[in-house]
Structure 1
């Protein structure tokens, strides 16, 4: 299922991903994994977060799959709009989990710098996993983001924001969505060959 030739780049959201977050577990479990380390997790600035994602992608020539959560998903969408062609070619796909709707009425002010959310399709395959009771994005809003970004979208029942607070410490079920994404990437590359 996992490939030694693929680099898995973890893209945390607002506040980062603590040690007991599923992203941290995955980083310890997946071969060739790395994490985007933002300079300020609590007062995020879009330009800084996008630049740090770019630096993290450029740190390796390996083909990369992005594994983003919450504000990390929106960061990926902003990055994809401005990235150079060589960087875009290195990214094979993205798993986008519980994207944060930074345009919602009750969105924390610290996240407003990430508006507006890009509406263009991502230039690589993506799998979006949302929830029907996520306070950071309604199921309908997650579906709209999935359509905008060209993502295959799944809305899970009753899983909240898919983070530590909603009981997702290891989130083994999520590996199935990563596997599904990798299978689509492989099929797409075979068709293009």
Structure 2
């Protein structure tokens, strides 16, 4: 039996994902990966980002997946718990949530607003949280708390920083395999 090809909405974090970032590389490799263009990458506002995500999901064909990094992860958690309708939620097969940032952390972007008090309710689709042991924006304890609250699978990948272009992941084949497993036979 062949695996069903799903479209993937790519949700970068604060300041977007540059040329060497795994999200950008995935988009270059496969046209099924489509970046959600947020209204302001440098001054993220939760309400604006969640409404933008909602519009992107409404425009997408079901089923779909999310490939989120950093602030994109928090956007999904807020969207699913406070913004999305049941009709929107059933379109989502799964989400890969990479490098979850801690809004209470010292390095959280000061220009981001509305992302505090992260909802820790179970997400209504299959998820996996991927964390690094030395992420300056969100430590393993915070990421594990989010994973537990969201009902996510857990994957710690060692010391990889913020799991971005500086992490040396290249096309990050492991991440693509994990994403492909979400929603499959769950």
TM-score bracket relative to the smaller structure: over 0.9
Q: Residue 46 of structure 2 contacts residue 113 of structure 2 at CA under 8 Å; is this kept in 1?
A: no
How does the TM-score come out when normalised to structure 1? 0.89
Which position in structure 2 is the counterpart of 1:69?
69
Post-superposition offset of 1:86: 0.5
Determine if contact 2:107/2:136 at 8 Å carries over to the other structure. no
1:160 aligns with 2:158: no
Q: Greater CA deviation, 55-64 or 44-53?
A: 55-64
Aligned match of 2:18: 18
Q: RMSD value over aligned CA atoms?
A: 1.6
Structure 2: 5+ residue stretches without partners: none
User: Which residue is 2:100 aligned to?
Assistant: 99
Aligned match of 2:185: 187
Whether contact under 8 Å (1:8, 1:30) holds in the other structure is: no
Residues 103 and 112 of structure 1 are in contact (CA less than 8 Å); yes or no, is this contact kept in structure 2?
A: no
1:14/1:106 Cα in 2 relative to 1: closer, same or farther (>3 Å)? Answer: closer
What is the match of residue 29 of structure 2? 29
List runs of 5+ in structure 1 lacking aligned partners. 189-193
Residue 177 of structure 1 and its aligned partner are, at CA, apart by: 1.6
- Does 102-111 or 159-168 show the bigger shift? 102-111
Confirm or deny: 8 A CA contact 2:14 2:109 kept in the other structure.
Answer: no
User: What does residue 140 of structure 2 align with?
Assistant: 139
The CA distance in 1 between the partners of 2:44 and 2:170, in whole Å, is 24
After superposition, give the CA deviation of every residue in 1:30-65 in whole Å (9 maximum; x if it has no partner): 352211001210000000000111111111233110
**Structure holding more helix per residue:** 1
Compute the TM-score of the two structures, normalised by the length of structure 2: 0.92
SS in 2 for 1:113: coil
Q: Does 1:56 align with 2:56?
A: yes
